[in-house]
Amino acid sequence: MTAVIAAMITAVVGVLGTLLAPLVHQRVATSQRTEDRHEADRLREFEDRRTAYTALNRASQQFSALLKDALYRLRDGVYTDVEREAVEAARIDYRDHYAAAQMIVPNHILDFSRAHNRVLADVEGAVKRLDRGTARDGEDAESVLRLLTARGDARLGAMRHAMRVDLGIEDR
């Protein structure tokens, strides 16, 4: 009787194995697809952040550089419509990338971006006032240029560093 019981147990295990194998396979395949989907989402989010960081950094540098150029030209009395249009185009480009970044990047990066944005907005306002001849007391091209160079460059550097750290890029 033991041989018969052993044969029955072997048959039952074989049948159960045959019946359960597709279910186990399906479960494993579903789990793998879920992991693959999560990995693809993580990579897509990383690429979206990197693209947003690159665009915001480039637009910030361009806007800052054109504001510096405008201040030099205002100081030298050679600020023309060409420069005004270039500054305005850079401002719009920067604003668009800043708005796009607000939808994608983490809040701790936005804090750095907001700090730099405040400096750029203050300097842009000063450039417009200087251009119109309505500068505030003590406001001239040199003082605004010092503000942009000291605070703006430092905040741009801090923002760029925070972005690099968020992307996992270590400075060596």
pLDDT at position 18: 80
Whether residue 73 lies inside any domain: the answer is: yes
pLDDT at position 25: 73
Q: In this structure, are residues 91 and 63 in contact, taking their beta carbons and an 8 Å threshold?
A: yes
Angle between helices 153-166 and 2-76 (to 10 degrees): 170
pLDDT at position 126: 97
Q: In this structure, are residues 79 and 132 in contact, taking their beta carbons and an 8 Å threshold?
A: no
Q: How many structural domains does the chain have?
A: 1
Rounded Cα distance, 98 and 124, in Å: 16
DSSP E strands in 4-156: the ranges are none
Whether residue 22 lies inside any domain: the answer is: no
Q: In this structure, are residues 145 and 127 in contact, taking their beta carbons and an 8 Å threshold?
A: no
Q: In this structure, are residues 123 and 152 in contact, taking their beta carbons and an 8 Å threshold?
A: yes
Whether residue 39 lies inside any domain: the answer is: no
Whether residue 10 lies inside any domain: the answer is: no
Rounded Cα distance, 60 and 164, in Å: 15
Token pair belonging to 32: 């793998």
pLDDT per 10-residue tile (average), the chain, 172 residues = 77 72 75 81 92 96 98 96 98 96 93 96 97 95 96 96 92 64
Whether residue 15 lies inside any domain: the answer is: no
Whether residue 6 lies inside any domain: the answer is: no
Torsion of CA 58, 162, 164, 96, to 10 degrees: -30
Whether residue 33 lies inside any domain: the answer is: no
Domain that holds residue 158: 50-166
pLDDT at position 98: 95
Whether residue 65 lies inside any domain: the answer is: yes
